[in-house]
Amino acid sequence: MISWKLIQKAKGVLEKERGTVHKPWGGKITVCLIYPNSYHVAMSNLGFQTVYQCLNSEDDVVCERAFLPDPEDLREYHNTQPPLFSLESQKPISDFDILAFSISFENDFLNILTLLDLAQIPLESRLRGRRYPLVIAGGVAVFLNPEPLSEFFDLFILGEAEEVVREFLEVYRNAFSKERRREKDDFLRKAGRVEGIYVPKFYHVTYTDEGKIETMEPEEGFPRRVKRRWINEIDRFPTRSSLFTLDTEFKKMALVEVNRGCPRGCRFCAACFVYHPFRNRSLSVLESLSTEGLTEERRIGLIGTAVSDYPHLLPLCQSILSQQGGIALASLRVDGVTHSLAQCLREGGDRTVAIAPEAGSERLRRVLRKGYTEEEVIKAIDNLVENGLFQIKCYFLIGLPSENDEDVKAILLLAKKVRHQILSNRNSRKERWKIVLSINPFIPKPATPFQWVPLEDVGELKRKLKLIQRGLKGEKGMEMIHDLPKWAYIQTLLSRGDRRVGKILMATHRRGGNWGQVLREMNINPDFYVYRRRDLDEIFPWDFIDHGIPKERLKEEYLNAMKEAGIKIERWTIDDGR
* 215 and 264 co-located in one domain: no
Give the list of residues 6+ apart from residue 279 with CB closer than 8 angstroms, or none. 231, 234, 259, 260, 261
So what's the pLDDT on residue 227? Answer: 96
* 373 and 477 co-located in one domain: yes
* 210 and 267 co-located in one domain: no
Q: Percentage of the chain with pLDDT > 70?
A: 97
In tens, the pLDDT along 338-366 reads 999 999 999 999 888 999 999 999 999 99
Q: What's the CA gap between 204 and 147, in Å, rounded?
A: 12
Provide the residue range defining the domain that includes 100.
16-227
Given a cut of 90, whether residue 3 has pLDDT beyond it is no
In tens, the pLDDT along 112-161 reads 999 999 999 999 999 998 889 999 999 999 999 999 999 999 999 999 99
- C-alpha distances (whole Å) from 229 to each of 160, 189, 271, 324, 460 are 6, 19, 14, 38, 39
Burial of 393 (0-12, 13-18, 19+ CB in 10 A): middle
In tens, the pLDDT along 157-196 reads 999 999 999 999 999 998 876 554 557 888 999 999 999 9
Q: What's the CA gap between 432 and 391, in Å, rounded?
A: 8
Q: Is residue 515 part of a domain?
A: no
Given a cut of 70, whether residue 204 has pLDDT beyond it is yes
* 389 and 263 co-located in one domain: yes
Give the list of residues 6+ apart from residue 430 with CB closer than 8 angstroms, or none. none
In tens, the pLDDT along 459-486 reads 999 999 999 999 999 888 999 999 999 9
* 324 and 457 co-located in one domain: yes
Q: What's the CA gap between 423 and 417, in Å, rounded?
A: 10
* End-to-end CA, the chain: 53
In tens, the pLDDT along 250-309 reads 999 999 999 999 999 999 999 999 999 999 999 999 999 999 999 999 999 999 999 999
Given a cut of 80, whether residue 427 has pLDDT beyond it is no
- Mean pLDDT of all residues in 484-508: 98
- C-alpha distances (whole Å) from 344 to each of 19, 41, 51, 224, 509 are 29, 28, 31, 50, 48
Burial of 560 (0-12, 13-18, 19+ CB in 10 A): middle
CB count within 10 Å of CB 185 equals 11
Q: Is residue 526 part of a domain?
A: no
* 96 and 205 co-located in one domain: yes
Phi/psi at 576 (5° precision): -95, 20
Q: Is residue 238 part of a domain?
A: no
* 86 and 196 co-located in one domain: yes
* 194 and 57 co-located in one domain: yes
* 285 and 191 co-located in one domain: no
- Mean pLDDT of all residues in 40-53: 97
Q: Is residue 522 part of a domain?
A: no
Given a cut of 80, whether residue 205 has pLDDT beyond it is yes
- Mean pLDDT of all residues in 237-241: 95
In tens, the pLDDT along 509-543 reads 999 999 999 999 999 999 999 999 999 999 999 99
Q: Is residue 512 part of a domain?
A: no
So what's the pLDDT on residue 54? Answer: 96
Burial of 553 (0-12, 13-18, 19+ CB in 10 A): exposed
In tens, the pLDDT along 297-344 reads 999 999 999 999 999 999 999 999 999 999 999 889 999 999 999 999
Burial of 298 (0-12, 13-18, 19+ CB in 10 A): middle
In tens, the pLDDT along 372-382 reads 999 999 999 99
* 289 and 327 co-located in one domain: yes
Entry pTM: 0.95
Q: Is residue 538 part of a domain?
A: no
* 207 and 291 co-located in one domain: no
Q: Is residue 501 part of a domain?
A: no
So what's the pLDDT on residue 134? Answer: 97
Of the residues 210, 227, 244, which one is the last residue of a structural domain? 227
Is-contact 283 320, C-beta < 8 A? no
Of the residues 192, 227, 262, which one is the last residue of a structural domain? 227
- C-alpha distances (whole Å) from 565 to each of 31, 295, 402, 407, 571 are 49, 51, 6, 12, 16
So what's the pLDDT on residue 177? Answer: 60
So what's the pLDDT on residue 576? Answer: 37
When computed from its CA atoms, the radius of gyration of the chain, rounded to whole angstroms, is 24
Helix pair angle (458-472, 485-496), 10° resolution: 140
H or E segment to which residue 138 belongs: strand 134-138
Is-contact 35 63, C-beta < 8 A? no
So what's the pLDDT on residue 184? Answer: 85
pLDDT-based confidence at residue 425 (cuts at 50, 70, 90): confident
Given a cut of 90, whether residue 79 has pLDDT beyond it is no
- C-alpha distances (whole Å) from 575 to each of 223, 246, 493, 536, 537 are 18, 52, 26, 10, 7
Of the residues 227, 242, 267, which one is the last residue of a structural domain? 227
Average pLDDT, the chain: 94
So what's the pLDDT on residue 571? Answer: 59
So what's the pLDDT on residue 342? Answer: 95
CB count within 10 Å of CB 336 equals 17
Half-sphere exposure of 553 (CA within 13 A, CB side): 9
Q: Is residue 508 part of a domain?
A: no
Q: What's the CA gap between 235 and 284, in Å, rounded?
A: 10
* 144 and 45 co-located in one domain: yes
Find, among 509, 507, 464, 497, the residue nearest to 483 by Cα. 464
Pairing verdict, β 213-218 and 203-207: antiparallel
So what's the pLDDT on residue 371? Answer: 84
Total structural domains in the chain?
A: 2
Q: For residue 85, how far is the Cα from the chain centroid? A: 25
Q: What's the CA gap between 471 and 411, in Å, rounded?
A: 10
Ramachandran region, residue 324 (left: φ > 0; alpha: ψ -120 to 50; beta: rest): left
